[in-house]
Chain A
Amino acid sequence: MSTPAIELPAVPYLDISDPSFAMQSEALRTAREQSWYARTNFGLAVLRYDEVSKLLKSPKLCQGSAKWPAHNGVHGGLFYDWWTKNLLVLEGEDHHRIRRLLNPAFSPRLIKDLVPRFQDLANELIDAFIDQGGCEFIRDFAEPYATRVLTILLGIPESEWPKIARLASTVGLALGVTFKQDLDKVEAAVAELYEYAEELIKDRQANPGVDFVSRLVLASRDGDRLSDEELRNALVLLIFGGMDTTRNQLGLAMQSFIRNPEQWELLARRPDLGGKAVEEVMRTNPTVTWVTREAVEDFEYQGLSIEKGTTVHLFTQSSGTDPRAFPNPELDLLGEHAPHYGFGGGVHHCLGHFVARADMSEALPLLARRLANPHLTGGDEWLPDSGNTGPTRLPIGFTKRA
């Protein structure tokens, strides 16, 4: 089956807005064997590793999320202005200029200095529930951890995390199917985040230090710098892009290890495998289930004509477990595997990945060292599999390790 799309005229079809649509399903595995792509009710879906890898970086495709507000009948307002001017949707030199100015603050060398704070935070959260033999993993760990990491990075008082978490989640409603109904709430949340960001910027402009936001405020390149508005938009994007993703990915990590208890034991014995644990979880169980692109021109790829304007969904979990690239696709902390696309790829590759990798690779081994035999105790609730997924409630039991 070297060119199945041509041998088999029946290209698979997937209804990706069906609430019961499942990424990790026989239907999807069958589709992936049949063809490298599927048609969906909303554009094409790319299913295999090589094709996802190439198309993710293809100059023929651009960010597909830019027109999201317009698709939902939203043509103005605070959210619209912010969304259409942020790094995630900008293209070409407009994108690269901002990315260049933001990059230095995200240097892996600077992020490393935060590791002891990530460890203290993880232990503090675990201390609070370890004697109870169980917890609601999202409420008691994933959400406060993901949010407080961001407050540590941005230098916001950690006590304000519940408010920041609520605002970020409210802005996140903009990406859901009920966007239009939620518009007033979303606008109010953007306004509040703007205020936060503006205050931070003013404070660091007056008293610059060596912290993360000061680095952004002072960033310059070839005589160019970020305007106050660009800085504000970027800070709100970091809050928006960094919290729910990390929370969901930690929840999915717990699910993965509950399914693979021997790997959890391995991680408990070998905390040095924390980094591998993050990669393996994101390859086999990513929160961002697809990255959306749009064809900038008509082009042909592997015998398929793709028309300008076509939406193309690059499936992350499907590509990360494609048997063509991963003969043993199961989660394996000792396996040598090709890179996954859970952080996207190409020019829009996640800007915060060093932060996310550093914080999750500390959290997972600390959890494994202290919680033996984690298991589901029922009552878990989940986001749908389309776009960004993960548990919103994950009650677990465990044995406190001696």
Chain B
Amino acid sequence: MKTIDVDRSLCDNHGQCAIAAPAVFRMNSDGVLEYEETFDDALLDEVEEAVDVCPVQAIFLKD
């Protein structure tokens, strides 16, 4: 099972991941990213899409 690691030193809170995979990533009311490190296998496609679309490429999937 893969887990998500967002490099907070890179993440600029654009929220594109929360558009791509809303079940796993969300922006809080201050506009700051919150996310689950683990996710259901059925969500793998959208999580991979979040990894792809992050403008600063801050999201990493680990085995």
Interface residues of A (CB under 8 A from B): 53-54, 57-59, 96, 99-100, 103-104, 106-109, 339, 343, 345-347, 349-350, 353
Contacts and interface: CB of A to CB of B under 8 A. Distances in A.
Contacts of A346: 14-15, 31
B20 interface: yes
B31 A103 contact: no
Question: Main secondary structure on chain B at its contact with chain A?
Answer: loop
Given A59-B31, A107-B52, A109-B52, A347 B12 contact: no
Contact of A57 (B15, B49, B53): B15
Interface of B: 12-16, 19-20, 22, 27, 29, 31, 49, 52-53, 55-57
20 contacts: A54-B31, A57-B13, A57-B15, A57-B27, A58-B31, A59-B31, A96-B19, A99-B19, A100-B20, A103-B20, A103-B49, A103-B52, A108-B52, A108-B57, A109-B52, A345-B55, A346-B15, A347-B14, A347-B15, A347-B19
A216 to B, nearest CB: 15
Contacts of A107: 52-53
A122 to B, nearest CB: 24
Contact of A349 (B16, B29, B49): B16
A8 B16 CA distance: 37
Given A59-B27, A100-B20, A103-B49, A339 B15 contact: no
Contacts of B15: 57, 346-347
Indicate the member of A58, A339, A347, A349 with the most B CB atoms within 10 Å. A349
B32 to A, nearest CB: 9
Given A104-B49, A109-B52, 17 more contacts: A57-B14, A57-B27, A59-B31, A96-B19, A100-B49, A103-B49, A108-B57, A339-B56, A343-B55, A345-B12, A345-B14, A346-B14, A347-B14, A347-B16, A349-B14, A350-B55, A353-B55
A106 B54 CA distance: 11
Contacts of B13: 57
A281 B28 CA distance: 32
Question: Main secondary structure on chain A at its contact with chain B?
Answer: helix
A56 to B, nearest CB: 9
Contacts of B12: 53, 339, 345
Given A53-B12, A57-B14, A353-B55, A100 B31 contact: no
Nearest to A61: B31
A109 B27 CA distance: 26
Contacts of B52: 103-104, 107-109
B3 to A, nearest CB: 21
A349 B20 contact: no
A103 B53 contact: yes
Contacts of B55: 343, 345, 349-350, 353
Contacts of A53: 12
Nearest to B22: A96
A59 B28 CA distance: 9
A53 B49 CA distance: 24
Indicate the member of B13, B16, B29 with the most A CB atoms within 10 Å. B16
Nearest to B31: A57
A107 B57 CA distance: 11
Contacts of B53: 103, 106-107
A379 B27 CA distance: 49
A217 B56 CA distance: 27
B44 to A, nearest CB: 14
Which 9 pairs show the lowest CB-CB distances between chains A and B?
A: A96-B19, A57-B31, A107-B52, A349-B14, A103-B53, A349-B55, A57-B13, A58-B31, A99-B19
A170 B22 CA distance: 38
